[in-house]
Amino acid sequence: MWIITLNCGLLFWSNFLHLNNYFCCCHYCNLVDKTYMVSHDQATLFCDYIWHLFTNRIVKKLSFVFLLFASAACSQSVESVKLAELQKIIHNSTDKLLVINFWATWCAPCIKELPHFEKLQQENKNVDVILVSMDYDLDPNIDKVNRFQSKKKIQSRILFLTESNPNAWIEKIDKKWSGALPATLVINSKTGKREFVQGELGEGEIEKLLSKVTN
Amino acid sequence: MKTIILIALVALLCAGAPIKEGYEVGDTAVDFKLKNVDGKMVSLADYKNAKGFILIFDCNTCPYSKAYNERIIALNKKYSAAGYPVLAINPNDPSKSSGDSFDEMVQLAKKKGYDFPYLADESQSVAKSFGATNTPHAFVLTKELKIAYIGAIDDNARKAEGVTKKYVEEAVDALIAGKAVSTTKTKAIGCGIKWKSV
């Protein structure tokens, strides 16, 4: 995993071997503090570019370019995953509470409840929000989800599940799930408690689910 | 005093029992009376010669409903003559989804040339009693209103040509042949029914 930190043109990075994911964190002048997932290729390209700039000692001159490039590299963060990878994330033990929202770009109630998840991701450091797009079933092209992500400036991690024949796997995600969208799964991996809700969540309802799995 | 305690205990037990939501395969459905797009009220009992039914909870607005529109029309063409007519029921609350108002339903049925009822489940009580959750959500019933199949129409929402399992057709074919339905329950991604706010 790569973690890249940008701070007003000063830059540090470190290489942690953890899973096969590449993270890119951008801190611009303490104004923006966000963590982005980028693809392997994008991260490698980005890091190579930064390394090139660094070794050429033109970092200061080109700090502006950094920021532009960082935004460009970070805006493409939708990851394609198969069911096995999603299940690994669901069953992974972590200190944080996992909030997994199943949604799609065509689903109006999903889009309506999205700001609650974004707010939660930004305000609660003990929570990891993962938005799992179910768009593949009707449209296998990831572009629509990428465009949606950049247009709406979504900060939470987005996964694009590339599995057909939903009847074969819906129950593997949760037995209670009929497949209707939206649906939300909240997991406390430390206690093994989980809550699953089908339907749109209103203000404060995610917090209620979180307290159910923590208490 | 004992009686009061007993009543209280029974009440407690009842309150604690999980409420069963919707029919399971093998349950017998209760008939309903809903308004069709032609303004007439429709019940399953009106179908004197039916050997069974294909009930589909459906709507105007869901992209999955749109993807299955032609396939639902084809189902009725294929099976109504064999005694298994299609009845489509729209359970969405029009205040949550304006495209699902009764007027819009009338328009869609006209545009698509529906030759089967398209009923408005205004109170959403039929969808609730069946345990419908998505649109489209299909239920295959026998003449005695016994539920033989619950779930998706087939296994490929995106393309009718890509379908490998026609779940509803297989269930109806089995009923016609007097055989047991092999796949009685399936799940599919779809639009959640737009329930009224409580």
The neighbour count for residue A185, using CB atoms within 10 Å, is 21
pLDDT given at position B198: 77
Nearest-Cα distance to chain A for B6, in Å, is: 32
pLDDT tops 80 at residue A205: yes
The whole-model pTM stands at 0.78
Q: Cβ of A167 and B64 within 8 Å?
A: no
B191 contacts on A by Cβ (under 8 Å) = 107, 180-181
Q: Tell me: ipTM over 0.90.
A: no
Which is more confidently placed, A48 or B114? B114
Nearest CB partner across the interface for A198, out of B133, B151, B186? B133
* Percent of residues, chain B, with pLDDT higher than 70: 90
B193 contacts on A by Cβ (under 8 Å) = 180
Q: Cβ of A140 and B67 within 8 Å?
A: no
pLDDT tops 50 at residue A66: yes
pLDDT given at position A120: 96
pLDDT given at position A11: 36
Which is more confidently placed, A202 or A69? A202
pLDDT tops 90 at residue A41: no
Picking from B21, B189, B193 by the largest number of A CB atoms within 10 A of its own CB, the best residue to mutate is: B189
Question: Is B185 an 8 Å CB contact of chain A?
Answer: no
Nearest-Cα distance to chain A for B195, in Å, is: 9
Quote the crossing angle between the two packed helices B167-176 and B63-79, to the nearest 10°.
Answer: 20
B189 contacts on A by Cβ (under 8 Å) = 104, 134, 137, 166, 170, 179, 181
Place of tokens 């003990």: A126
Burial of B118 (0-12, 13-18, 19+ CB in 10 A): buried
pLDDT tops 60 at residue B11: no
For residue A80, give the DSSP letter: E
pLDDT given at position A77: 83
Which parts of chain A fold into alpha helices (H)?
Answer: 40-55, 63-75, 83-91, 108-123, 143-151, 170-173, 205-214
pLDDT tops 90 at residue A146: yes
pLDDT tops 50 at residue A12: no
pLDDT tops 60 at residue B130: yes
pLDDT tops 60 at residue A195: yes
- Tens of pLDDT, residues A99-133: 999 999 999 999 999 999 999 999 999 999 999 99
Nearest-Cα distance to chain B for A140, in Å, is: 9
Q: Cβ of A180 and B151 within 8 Å?
A: no
The neighbour count for residue A177, using CB atoms within 10 Å, is 21
Nearest CB partner across the interface for B187, out of A104, A167, A199? A167
Which is more confidently placed, B21 or B164? B164
pLDDT mean over A157-170: 96
pLDDT mean over A3-10: 37
pLDDT tops 90 at residue B176: yes
Q: How confident is the model at residue A63 (pLDDT cuts 50, 70, 90)?
A: low
Using CA atoms, how far apart are residues A71 and A41, in angstroms rounded to an integer? 16
Counting one residue from A and one from B, how many pairs have CB atoms under 8 Å apart?
A: 63
pLDDT mean over A8-24: 34
pLDDT tops 80 at residue B57: yes
Taking all residues of chain B, what is their mean pLDDT, rounded to a whole number? 92
pLDDT given at position A20: 30
